[in-house]
A and B are shown apart, each in its own frame.
Chain A
Amino acid sequence: MHPAPSLILFTTLSGLGFGLLAFLGVGLPSVTGWIAAVFFAIGFVLAGGGLAFSAFHLGHPERALKAFTQWRSSWLSREAWAASGTLGLMALFAAALVLGGLRIAPLGWLGALACLATVGVTSMIYASLRTVPRWHHWSTTAMFLGYALCGGALLAGQRWPALVLLALTGLGQFLAWKAGDARFAAAGSTTGTATGLGHLGQVRLFEPPHTGGSYLTREMVFVVARKHATKLRSIALILAFLVPLALLLLPDFHHLGAALAVLSHTLGVLAARWLFFAEAEHVVGLYYNRSAA
């Protein structure tokens, strides 16, 4: 799939933002006043900014409000409701805390749950697509939640939760990549089933329908340079997990270390998200002889 910058930024930033808001909702750290205001501002800017980036992906962003109508069948529509509802809940919680000095704990807990639910719903936009076997799996949702919680823990300065979450999510990502590599073949679609000619022999594309590119080849038949995929995966793992883990384990861990850990983690997540899109093979590639390697 085409790794559109708008979608990479959307999923990365909103994941970080909702992760931080989830931690703030349960009172980790239990801040008040100006410090709380700054924490919440970071959370809202990341989550809201990420959502704003998603609008750049639209051909007609001026009609974006129509996306609230089809929540009964569409995960994208549910995402619109979940994100705006969650931001509303957390805004109420933050206002009471910052302006009124009042911590409405049940509201915070509900907001934290809604934050995670929103990240889960975002992941379902991708995981629900049967046409992309690599995504069509529960591990897609697990990884989105893992990344959001890692980023949230780092941004919220929760050292020990962050250590545990980073270790688990890093391991999970490694395993998810390994399992994902085999999923296209396991899904059973081949050039033979795509053309219905498989019973006659070996089918291969002789002549594509068009000599140039098309929306389909640009959007869905994006092929990442495979010799770089392993390197990029290593870079993503190092930046997103190993560097923050090392920084968190430093004996005199403080603000500079925390900032560096967040920065490194964010860069790593961006690399991992680029791979999430670039490595995903769509079955329509079978009509273009460009399926999984």
Chain B
Amino acid sequence: MTDLPEKTERKLGLVIDLDTCVGCHACVIACKGWNTENYGAPLADADAYGTDPVGAFLNRIHTFEVQPDPREDGSLPPAQMFHLPKSCLHCDDAPCVTVCPTGASYKRVEDGIVLVNETDCIGCGLCAWACPYGAREMDPAEKVMKKCTLCVDRIYNDNLPEADRQPACVRTCPAGARHFGDLADPDSAVSRLVEARGGMDLMPEQGTKPVNKYLPPRPRDAEIDVLAPYLAPVDEHPKGFLGWLDRALGKL
């Protein structure tokens, strides 16, 4: 049924650190790889080697530039760059689930994961319209809706070594920017991380109550000057060989 559960026993989800993500897109590729080779319809590409390639991805990285407000003296602080990995946020109040006319979309009571039953999906696309985050994409070959499963076929998979029983994106992240765990348990590592770093929701005004949280960037130093001691101003009046060179070049 596409009614949402009143409450889920656990809230499995991701915590993504915007301070740490280096924007390497390794999670995008790991996700595409795992979800093409395992559960559900493969994530297809259409016209992959042609002029207009499109493909289904469950995780994408957007890069944003933030220009801080001018300082008191009117000068602009340097702009900052952030990489924003975006996949399904497994919302508590998931609008994609309730709009589904067939019941293909559902939120699991036991762990809160939002999934699509691909044999029930009619490919109407309404769930993708209802999602504010662009987390759902229609597969160009299978014509069913694809979305992040939180690697449900990895996290409970006893055939994998224990270290691998986490989503492919988390397992592969070389920067340690992605964390997986139960956000309903206040003592879990992810919950403590959210607590310590002020984890936030994307587009809270949409009322979706996302489970996934994003850790905001830590405050940056006002001036970046770790190298300053080594970068003393160039001598305005050089002597010796440099002095001669300076005078000779000046006369040219």
Contact = CB atoms under 8 A, between A and B. Distances in A.
Interface of A: 1, 57-61, 63-64, 66-70, 72-77, 80, 125, 128-132, 187-189, 191, 193-197, 199-210, 212-216, 218-220, 282-284, 287-288
A74 B99 contact: yes
B203 A194 contact: yes
Interface of B: 1-4, 18, 28, 52-57, 60-69, 80-82, 84, 86, 95, 97-104, 120-126, 128-134, 137-138, 140, 142-144, 200-207, 214, 216-217
A288 B133 CA distance: 11
Contacts of B122: 58-61, 63-64, 66-67
B64 A197 contact: yes
A41 to B, nearest CB: 29
Contacts of A218: 54
Contacts of A204: 64-65, 67
Contacts of B62: 195, 205, 207-209, 287-288
Contacts, number: 197
B98 A74 contact: yes
B56 A201 contact: no
B117 to A, nearest CB: 10
A195 B103 contact: no
Nearest to A135: B129
Contacts of B129: 1, 129, 131-132, 219-220, 282
A70 B98 CA distance: 9
Nearest to B134: A284
B56 to A, nearest CB: 7
B143 A60 contact: yes
B102 A67 contact: yes
B209 to A, nearest CB: 13
B203 A70 contact: no
Nearest to B60: A209
B224 to A, nearest CB: 16
Contacts of B143: 59-60
Given A66-B120, A131-B206, A206-B65, A59 B144 contact: yes
Nearest to A280: B129
Given A59-B125, A196-B214, A204-B64, 8 more contacts: A59-B142, A61-B122, A66-B101, A73-B99, A193-B205, A203-B64, A205-B65, A288-B62
Nearest to A211: B53
A214 B134 CA distance: 11
B68 A73 contact: no
A74 B121 contact: no
A88 B1 CA distance: 26
Contact of A283 (B2, B97, B132): B132
27 contacts: A57-B125, A59-B124, A60-B121, A63-B122, A66-B120, A70-B102, A74-B126, A76-B124, A76-B126, A131-B132, A196-B201, A197-B66, A197-B82, A197-B216, A199-B216, A201-B67, A202-B66, A206-B64, A209-B60, A214-B54, A214-B55, A214-B137, A220-B129, A220-B134, A284-B132, A287-B84, A287-B133
A67 B60 contact: no
Contacts of A200: 66, 68, 80, 217
A169 to B, nearest CB: 26
A166 to B, nearest CB: 31
A67 B123 CA distance: 11
A202 B129 CA distance: 27
B203 A189 contact: yes
A191 B64 contact: yes
Shortest beta-carbon contacts, A-B, top 6 = A59-B123, A59-B143, A209-B60, A77-B101, A201-B68, A207-B63
Contact of A73 (B2, B206, B214): B2
A195 B62 CA distance: 10
A196 B137 contact: no
A215 B54 contact: yes
Contacts of A125: 126
B53 A212 contact: yes
Contacts of A60: 121-123, 143-144
Contacts of A59: 121-125, 138, 142-144
A63 B67 CA distance: 49
Contacts of B137: 214-216
Contacts of A132: 129
Contact of A66 (B68, B103, B138): B103
